[in-house]
Amino acid sequence: MNNFDDFKKDKIYNIAIFASGSGTNAENIFQYFKKQKGAEISLILTNKSDAFVIERAKRLNIPILIFNKDDFYKTRKVLDILLEKKIDLIVLAGFLWLIPNNIIKSFEKRIVNIHPALLPDFGGKGMYGDFVHKKVIETGQTESGITIHYVNEHYDDGDIIFQVKCKVEKDDTPESLAKKVHQLEYEHYPHIIEKILLGFPLL
């Protein structure tokens, strides 16, 4: 059994994606599961009213929720919608806020994030996007990559699920390194999400 074609055919898993930016990973995940037909992106959530992920969600006909800090941290608004949608897995894809405890407790081991470096190095608050790639290059690293991990109450601190590496060349810039890392994200994130949903061994 390798995918949804031969496992739990009667079950459709509901995925919610949190994103703060353009949503390229969100769309990549959507396209992957559109072909697999065993899971679907049931909701996209964003904390930025001008994020391009909103346009992607509209084009792909995915319901979207835009929320602010009070919605997220002072009320149950976001949690209640996740529960109402019967979400099986929460996927963070370029989402920059800490997940509040009420969501973490309700979705224990069902929230995953992807980080554009090899954790535990180059993680923490403010370490995202080109800030990460710049630091990797400045410190003379010869390898970078991606880390997919479970989410807890701290930035980039949850148990590591999967890592894969790429080389950092001497002439790499943050932009060129970002391209390598993005390719790893697009290639591996949907597959790891699928394995998590199906309960397959990950390492």
User: Cβ-count burial of 171 within 10 angstroms (0-12 exposed, 13-18 middle, 19+ buried)?
Assistant: exposed
Among 115, 149, 154, 182, the one annotated catalytic:
115
Report which DSSP code applies to 171: T
- Residue 154 annotated as catalytic: no
| CA–CA gap between residue 118 and residue 116 (Å, rounded) | 7
| CA–CA gap between residue 102 and residue 75 (Å, rounded) | 10
| Terminal-residue alpha carbon distance, the chain | 17
Q: How many CA atoms lie within 13 A of 90 on its CB side?
A: 27
Residue type, 130: D
Active site amino acids? 115
